[in-house]
A and B are shown apart, each in its own frame.
Chain A
Amino acid sequence: MLIKNIIRFVVVVLFQVLMLNNLNFGGYAYPAFYIYFILLLPFETAGWVLLLSSFFLGLSVDFFTNSLGMNAAASVFMAFCRPGILSLLRSKREYELGFAPGIKDLGFGWFVSYALILILIHHTILFSLEVFSFSGILQTILRIVLSSVITLILAILAQVLFYRTTKG
């Protein structure tokens, strides 16, 4: 379980830094796919593990791009919101033991709403910090929405590619 998560951490950071940062999505969007790692952490992850691993996840991506603490700040905030969002969506499905967040265990609809909310939170913090002002707020919102959509599509693709979607 631990090894699987460590491998996922490294793969996600390398994919982001070596592939996604070199692709140009119309010059506006910046998909932060590495947060997929936070999305896929098991339900029973301790709070401090969640926060610390997200912090170092964001910091690792920051090391490769001259953006200092921006990704770290956005990732930690998203990790902080994760338990809240999970309990918000709990009323729709029961989180049985052994489940992991994903399409296989909890269904496509659940995963999309879970991922979309957290992705939007993360991207909002990230792009707001990058701009650091209220001028051009329309353009910032456009970038947030565009990047979130692309990240969501990538996350769904990753789910479909690496897990067989058999409904439990």
Chain B
Amino acid sequence: MRNVITFLWKNYFFFLFVFLEIISLVLVVENNYYQGAAVVNSTSDFTGGILQSFSDFGGFFKLKEANEILAEENARFHNRNPKAYIRTDTATFFVRDTLYEQTFVYIAAKVISSSVNRRNNYLKLNKGRLQGIGKDMAVVAPNGVVGQVIEVSDHFCSVMMIINKHSRVSAKLKSSNQVGTLIWKGDNYRRGTLVDIPTHVQMHLGDSVITSGYSHIFPEGQLIGVVEDYKIEKGSNFYTVDVAFTIDYNKVYNVFVIKNLMRKELKFLERVEDQN
């Protein structure tokens, strides 16, 4: 027994290294599921506070660009205002449309930290549980889709971006309404990949790729990107489609977090489906 202890003591450098390395690797392995990002809670108020102050300071230098993007969005909203249209049809009829029962609530938030040059990219926003943000909520920007909330603290939240190895978004082609899954292969932060499109579908370059709404996280019809190229991998019955994202993820400053008011109902139904 004493020999073992003296052996350990003499080689303490190696054993301490092994011990610390195992701790680090355990932390890394738990990182492989995106929900496991909750282990090291980097959204704690301390780090969030530091990042917030620094991004407030840095925000001054990005104001011009952020303002231009907001002004464009304003113009789009003005265009949708009924006052911008001329009535050409004098026949009117009353429609009781349950489609207009509000299901989605938009919460505006600012990005206080981001990355684009890693395999798994995350954002941090300056709104949290106290402002109504919850896990699994969708995050969009004025001109496209950004990602999904994976962890929330009182004042901040952590978002898994689409440019992340674990991200899977249910998407469809605008022209044919054909539904597939949008993933990111990890090579270029401006380009994603749409898979599971059967080969009988008519493909068009420049076709829009939008969210399908099937995940109950993203509302239907949010623009993700544009078809750039498509090919059939050897031995597969599905197209692999290259999608150019509409957003430059390096320049995302203001986003909306979308709360689906119907989500609890839909999840309840899904759970019943799984049991049968």
Contacts and interface: CB of A to CB of B under 8 A. Distances in A.
Could you tell me the dominant secondary structure of chain A's interface residues? helix
Interface string A97-121: 0000000000000000000000000
Contact of B42 (A64, A83, A136): A64
24 contacts: A24-B116, A24-B250, A27-B116, A30-B118, A51-B16, A51-B17, A52-B16, A55-B23, A62-B27, A63-B47, A64-B113, A65-B42, A65-B115, A66-B37, A68-B27, A68-B30, A68-B39, A69-B25, A69-B28, A69-B31, A72-B20, A73-B24, A83-B13, A130-B119
Given A72-B23, A72-B27, A132-B32, 5 more contacts: A52-B16, A65-B42, A66-B122, A69-B24, A136-B186
A5 interface: no
Contact of B24 (A27, A72, A130): A72
B30 to A, nearest CB: 7
B132 interface: no
Interface residues of B, number: 39
Nearest to B26: A69
Contacts of A73: 21, 24-25, 27-28
Contact of B17 (A18, A25, A76): A76
Contacts of B30: 68
A70 interface: yes
Interface in B34-50: 36-37, 39-40, 42, 47
Interface in B167-199: 186-189
A130 B122 CA distance: 14
B120 A27 contact: no
Interface string B36-75: 1101101000010001001000100000000000000000
Given A52-B20, A63-B40, A47 B117 contact: no
Interface size band for A = 35 or more
A130 B118 contact: yes
Nearest to B190: A27
A25 B47 contact: no
A131 interface: yes
Most chain A Cβ neighbours within 10 Å, of B12, B58, B117: B117
A129 B28 contact: yes
Contacts of A79: 17
B212 interface: no
Contacts of B260: none
Contacts of A27: 116-117, 188-189
Given A48-B16, A52-B20, A76-B20, A69 B27 contact: yes
Interface in A73-103: 73, 76-77, 79-80, 83
Q: Which of A28, A48, A69 has the most CB of B within 10 A?
A: A69
A168 to B, nearest CB: 29
A67 B24 contact: no
A77 B21 contact: yes
B153 interface: no
B20 A68 contact: no
B117 A66 contact: no
B25 A51 contact: no
Nearest to B54: A18
Given A24-B116, A27-B116, A47 B13 contact: yes
B20 A51 contact: yes
Interface string A134-157: 001001000000000000000000
A29 B118 CA distance: 8
Contacts of B47: 63-64
